[in-house]
Structure 1
Amino acid sequence: MTGRNAKARKIEALLGLAAAAHPVRLLEVGTGSGGIAHHFGTHPGRRFEVDAVDVNDSRQIHDGYRFTQVSDIQLPFPDGQFDVVISNHVIEHVGDRAAQRGHLAELRRVLKPDGLGYLAVPNRWQPVEPHYGLAFLSWLPVAWRTPYLRWRRRGDDYDCRPLSVRELEPLLAEAGFDFVQQHGRALRTTFELERPGA
């Protein structure tokens, strides 16, 4: 879980959550192993009230947060419930462009008007696709991706739809988000947290 802990600490740093003085309502969408939700739910320095959702229950850590299994992009929470919403490498898995729009709209709906969101997504134009480790996989037209995956014997179905920056930014604006790209800062923070002795 060391990697998940470093990721959670990076999210905390990028969002400036160390300065949060009051209990923070936090939602992690697509919690996976549960490491990020656990980090915030058991934070030693401040109080986070954490909910986590996922379509599959593949958690390895269960304590420190409430978990709800969902069946699709709809979130089972009232409008404006959370101070912080985290979607870490989820949007590329939710489906087609309409589902991606719906995912962002749901994040915005449950976030307080002055809340903070964290959205991480692999760039479609990365030379090596991060889920399957194949060069140029996500560069291909959608219809060619699964055949390439099968030809390279890495899987049966390419179920990811990574976005380019030019594709993502209009979707964020359409959902009503004000946003700042933090690629450089995220890389620096990752290096600082993961370097030996950190």
Structure 2
Amino acid sequence: MERKAHASLNTASRIVKAQKIEILLGLKHSQKTLNILEVGCGSGGISYYFATHESLKCQVSAVDVYDSRVVLDDYEFKMVEGVALPFNDNSFDIIITNHVIEHVGNTHEQLIHIKEIKRVLVPNGQCYLAVPNRWMLTEPHYGLKFLSWIPKKYRNFYFKLWGKGNYYDCNPLSLPELENMLIQANVYFENISVEAAKVTLGLEKPNSLLNTIIQKIPNKILAIFKPVIPTLIYKITKLKK
């Protein structure tokens, strides 16, 4: 099945996304140069943000199966085929894979995607992994409600019924499916979806009533909703922190 390009070309939104990643990974000013890889860079906005960061010293590489970039400067870009990454083992301090895994193929290819991230990540590095939750109400790529709720063998029929095309080219994962995959890949992981939701609201709607309310609710209470949060976000490491 051919996978389509689903890059977000709104560079302003990529800046906010990059700021969120920076906060969640706890990246701070250092004399050490961070080698960063963005897998599936889309518009190039996130890669450019880190490559030109005022206080972080970053050497940024980016890969994608399509070249949809709007921002081209200050980072290295490579076209790739499939899920294999064209880098040596232990090459990167930080890896970003933001809404990519649902596009790479079937479950086997998704597992390889995670194993490749582990391979090129340095032993004490960390990866930011964001995945649309299968149980989100509205599928984000096509705007169809309940699309990913339907068993896989019926999704294409539902997709065609709504006039979206001949086949549905994404494979969103549920929380248990994703965590089982992370266990199979033998990586350490932390679900930071609640923290990410708070950071997102703080960046995008700092003065809203919703932000005021959510920031006051303890994370332990909000954690009840992790299985149905629209975007599952994880911090992945090779070594246990």
Q: Distance in 2 between matches of 1:86 and 1:172?
A: 16
2:148 pairs with 1:138: yes
Deviation for aligned residue 1:176: 2.2
CA contact (8 A) 2:62 2:77 kept: yes
Aligned match of 1:16: 26
Deviation for aligned residue 1:105: 0.4
Cα-to-partner distance string for 1:93-123 (whole Å, 9 max, x where unaligned):
0001100010000000000011000000000
Q: Distance in 1 between matches of 2:161 and 2:13?
A: 31
CA contact (8 A) 2:29 2:55 kept: no
SS in structure 1 at match of 2:191: coil
Aligned match of 2:36: 26
CA contact (8 A) 2:30 2:57 kept: no
Q: Against the structure 1 CA distance between its residues 196 and 186, is the aligned structure 2 distance closer, same or farther, given a 3 Å change threshold?
A: closer
Where do 1:61-140 residues align within 5 Å? Answer: 61-140=71-150
Gaps in structure 1 of 5+ consecutive residues:
none
Amino acid at match of 2:203: L
Cα-to-partner distance string for 1:125-149 (whole Å, 9 max, x where unaligned):
1111111111110011111111111
SS in structure 2 at match of 1:179: strand
> In the alignment, which of 51, 54, 67 is matched to residue 44 of structure 1?
54
Gaps in structure 2 of 5+ consecutive residues:
1-10, 208-241
Count of residue pairs the alignment pairs up = 197
Q: Against the structure 1 CA distance between its residues 196 and 182, is the aligned structure 2 distance closer, same or farther, given a 3 Å change threshold?
A: closer
Amino acid at match of 1:30: G
Q: Distance in 2 between matches of 1:10 and 1:45?
A: 16
Q: Distance in 1 between matches of 2:23 and 2:149?
A: 31
Deviation for aligned residue 1:20: 4.4
Identity %: 49
Superposition TM-score, scaled by structure 2 size: 0.79
Aligned match of 2:66: 56
Q: Against the structure 1 CA distance between its residues 20 and 100, is the aligned structure 2 distance closer, same or farther, given a 3 Å change threshold?
A: farther
Cα-to-partner distance string for 1:127-186 (whole Å, 9 max, x where unaligned):
111111111100111111111111111232201110001001111122121111111110
Q: Against the structure 1 CA distance between its residues 188 and 20, is the aligned structure 2 distance closer, same or farther, given a 3 Å change threshold?
A: farther
After TM superposition, the runs of 4+ consecutive aligned structure 1 residues lying more than 4 A away are none
2:205 pairs with 1:174: no
Amino acid at match of 1:161: N
2:170 pairs with 1:160: yes
Amino acid at match of 1:105: K
SS in structure 2 at match of 1:64: coil
Amino acid at match of 2:56: R
